[in-house]
Structure 1
Amino acid sequence: MLRPEAFVSSRESLDVHSIYAFEGTIGQGGYGRVVKATHRRLGVQRAIKIIPKRDNAEGIRNEIRTLCELHHPHVAKLVEYFEDAGRFYLVQALVDGPDLAELLGAAVNDSGHTLPERQTSILIRDCLRAVAGCHARGFVHRDIKLDNFMLSS
């Protein structure tokens, strides 16, 4: 039986920039930043989380191992990762929609009304399922906020 981590490749000997063309920052947080990138040969767009190693490189490696095993419909899939002397690069599926903060802001700004109750309950349920899926694998997200819940279109 293949283990989930068999599908996620580590590219410690390759330069991430030789594989992906970085197109700009799409998010920033205390943990690092996220850039939009395109695979140079395949043309596939991805989100790449860039995390400085700082003092906790082994802790980040443990998180990478956890993410390799995390397959959840509401969590962006880890495709591969790269590592150089100073950073980790986590390549994930690019979610093509707005984040939850943008959605809620647009709903209020456009109409002056809130989202319908049914739509709100589905969003909350899916967010909680994503967090529960992470916790079930021992992964604790330390920066839960509306901006970190991406919505597919």
Structure 2
Amino acid sequence: MSEALKRDYEIGEELGRGRFGTVFRCFSRESGEPFALKSIDKSLLTDPIDRECADREAKIHRLVAAGNPGVVGIHEEYEDDAAIHLIIDLCPGGDLFDRISGSAPLPEPEAAAVTAALVEAIAACHRRGVAHRDVKPDNVLFDLKGRLRLSDFGSAEWFGEDGGEEMRGLVGTPYYVAPEVVAGKHYGEKVDVWSAGVILYMMLSGMAPFYGESAAETFEAVLRSNLRFPTRVFRSVSPGAKDLIRRMLCKDVSRRFSAEQVLRHPWITSSGGSILVEQENLLPSSL
């Protein structure tokens, strides 16, 4: 591990492990302030695309985090022969996956509050010409005050503030990836809206809208995009919520809502739009 990193920070226990790296708790030796350390193992970056994403992660993360309270902050970057190390905000409130997995569907006001905060963070990234490309509950964290923070920009890509540059490449997670990504087409930033729509569907139902027994079967279901609202789980869900889901999970990208349009939808503005990212205790601690 980098000598400069060890000089500046005391490394603590492991907090989590992902495809390319590990997250640790760490403390500034100067101030004693706690942070998280994300160490990306270079030996795992065998695909040139993965290495390219890792090389630009810090730059993109800094761009979208500046002045954006809905994104996990990034503070320092170190590199040695073995790994790239990023010092980021510590979010001890856990992630959205932990809060919704195995629990009953969320009440609509709580789901609306989470969606509003998440989509505001996504919209802020899009305003700066960046698509996250891996929006999923595992990457939606909560800080000490319960505020939502979007994390992990390892798959993020620059598309240009005017939306003029399209992206390509199968990145993301099967349940949450948009159909145009799976189809191998060029695509734009609305892939993030699709992923947020999947999360909204899951928060209100406890199940994924498109799934299979394997990644391949899940991709096939995503490509079909046969959106259904089973009566047994959506009986009590309002028409407004289902309307927003349809507009976010629209296979026709030209008709799919943008992040800004999601924030203006009546279900958001009446239920959770006033909450957004400034709201503390976004979800009750009992979840």
- TM band (smaller chain): 0.7 to 0.9
Q: More displaced, 87-96 or 23-32? A: 23-32
For 1:132-147, list aligned pairs within 5 A. 132-147=123-138
Render the CA deviation track for 1:8-42: whole Å, top value 9, x for unaligned: xxxxx853122212212212221322111111221
Structure 1 unaligned runs (5+)?
Answer: 1-12
Indicate yes or no: 2:24 matched with 1:35.
yes
Shift, 1:149, TM fit:
0.7
CA distance in 2, matches of 1:137, 1:146: 22
Change (3 A) 1:57 1:101: closer
Q: In structure 1, what is the equivalent of residue 58 of structure 2?
A: 64
Larger Rg: 2
1:50 aligns with 2:46: no
User: Separation in 1 of the partners of 2:129 and 2:23?
Assistant: 23
* Counterpart mapping for 1:102-113 below 5 A: 102-105=98-101, 108=103, 113=104
Partner of 1:95: 91
1:147 is displaced (CA, Å) by 1.7
Distance 2:113 2:53 in 1: 33
Question: Does residue 70 of structure 2 align to residue 79 of structure 1?
Answer: no
Q: SS of the counterpart of 2:141?
A: coil
Please list the CA deviations of residues 37-87 of structure 1 after superposition, one character each: whole Å capped at 9, or x if unmatched: 111221111111111233555543322212222222111111111111121
Identity, in percent, stands at 29
Alpha-carbon separation, structure 2, partners of 1:18 and 1:51: 19
Distance 2:125 2:17 in 1: 21
- Name the aligned partner's letter for residue 121 of structure 1: A
TM-score when scaled to structure 2? 0.42
Cα distance in 1, alignment partners of residues 120 and 62 from structure 2: 18
* Helix, strand or coil at the partner of 1:90: strand
Specify the alignment match of 1:114 in structure 2: 105
Counterpart CA distance in 1 for 2:53 and 2:60 is 11
Paired residues, what number? 136
Cα distance, 1:121 vs. partner?
0.5
- Shift, 1:148, TM fit: 1.5
Question: What TM-score, normalized by structure 1, do the two folds share?
Answer: 0.75
Identify the residue that residue 119 of structure 2 maps to in structure 1.
Answer: 128
How far 1:142 sits from its partner (Å)?
Answer: 4.6
Shift of 1:117: 1.1
Residue type matched to 1:34 in 2?
V
| Matched residue, 1:150 | 141
Q: 1:32 to 1:135 in 2, by over 3 A?
A: farther
Q: For structure 2, which runs of at least 5 residues remain unmatched after alignment? A: 147-287
Shift of 1:122: 0.9
